[in-house]
Amino acid sequence: MAIDLFADTGKQESELHPQYKSLRDLPGYAPARSLIRELQKNFSDPDGNFVEQFQTFGFDARTFEFFLSVMLEDVGHEVDRTHDRPDFLITKDGLTAAVEAVTANPPPNSMIQPYTNLPKGGSVPDAIEHLEQTIPVRLGSPLYSKLKKKYWTLPQMQGKPLILAIQDFHTAGALLSTSTGLGRYLYGQGQKWWHDEDGNLVIEGHALTEHKLGTKRIPSGYFNQPDAENISAVMFCNTGTVAKFNRMGQQDKHRHKRVRMIRSGTCYRHDPNAALPAAFVYEVGAPEEGKETWREGTVLFHNPNALHPLPSEWFGAALEDELVGGERICTFAEPFLPYASITQIFEDAPLALVQEYVDMQVRVLTSIFPE
């Protein structure tokens, strides 16, 4: 039975998630509203509490779960949500696997904690600490918790691969983090890089033993942990948000004439000797720009020790990462791979104001990531 994510659940306005209310009410989110109303017709709720959680405490997690359903169907999977655990059974080319959505969340308290886009400022050492320690611990904890649930013992899971799909909301700006920190933790492998005398980029891997954050320490190498052979792969995503639905609506038939969106960020630079990403700035839905795909920005890490390994390129992520003979092998499904982005919404804004913002973003980003 189809659901209505905007149905009146009887909650007081004060009980609703502020970002849900923005989605429901603001003109700038009209493309997302229209698109979600169309897509929800194919979405079922085996738990019976999806709508309530989407509108309140579980807004981020349920948005991500809804995104996964849409993305998986878009890349050719038949999606089955008849079981309450794991979240999805997916079938393509005669193979059925399971997908469980995972989110890293802020420490619980009694209040709704809206995710905010921009992180607090920090130094370069802070950024390195965040990449090498904070992200592995914050993402590792919910992944380890899912491991303890032993989904592979369920009757519907017998002989099937299991994929954990994770997105990070643990602190302000977490969605601007890339998949690099997660990859370090999953494979227990760090990387050092330098340019040789001929200007060639050299990358050398080295083993990691642990990650620590304050007094908390976790072992590195999630795929090497006991029972982890039952996890076939982990998918990283930082785009399964309302902003994604808004962009996808704006670039297609749900475009709103009063709304303009500027997306800016960093992406993979197709230069084998590049040590820095490339910058990008574009208007969503502009005729000269290519169209965003649902899988854009997703990264699948294959477990080299998997009991039920996934065939390469079967899942449908934008990038697949495999550890082969101790070396990381990456396969791109699409040429454009954004690492992180921000979408600025303008409602009834003068052209000059929008152009001023575009020029500012170009100046800032190209000063940090020059051509």
Neighbours of 51 (CB within 10 A): 18
Domain presence at residue 164: yes
Tell whether 343 is covered by a domain. Answer: no
Cα 286 to its chain centre, rounded Å, is 24
Split into its structural domains, the chain has a count of 1
Cα separation, 180 vs 136, whole angstroms: 10
What pLDDT is recorded for position 289?
Answer: 83
Q: What integer pLDDT is reported at residue 6 of this predicted model?
A: 97
In contact, 79 and 46? CB cutoff 8 Å: no
Mean pLDDT by groups of 10 residues along the chain of 371 residues: 90 95 97 98 89 94 96 98 94 98 76 53 58 83 95 97 92 76 92 80 83 88 97 96 97 95 94 90 91 97 98 98 90 94 96 96 92 81
Exposure pattern of 287-298 as b/e (b: 16+ CB <10 Å)?
eeeeebbbbbbb
Distance, CA of 105 to CA of 53 (rounded, Å):
14
CB-based burial label for 359 (10 Å; 0-12, 13-18, 19+): exposed
d(CA 237, CA 319): 11
Q: Does a structural domain hold residue 320?
A: yes
pTM for this predicted structure: 0.92
Query: Quick check: is 318 in a domain?
Result: yes
353: in domain: no
pLDDT in tens, 62-116: 999 999 999 999 999 999 999 989 999 999 999 999 999 999 887 665 455 554 5
pLDDT at 126: 60
**Helices within 116-218 (DSSP H only):** 124-129, 135-148, 180-187
Residue-level pLDDT at 134: 82
Distance CA 280, CA 339 (A): 11
Tell me, yes or no, whether 355 lies in a domain.
no
The pLDDT value given to residue 108:
61
- What is the rounded distance in angstroms from the CA atom of residue 58 to the CA atom of residue 295? 22
Q: Is residue 240 part of a domain?
A: yes
Q: Could you give the CA distance from residue 323 to residue 265 in angstroms, rounded to a whole number? A: 28
Asked if residue 281 is part of any domain, the answer here is: no
The pLDDT of residue 235 is: 98
Domain that holds residue 101: 13-254+291-336
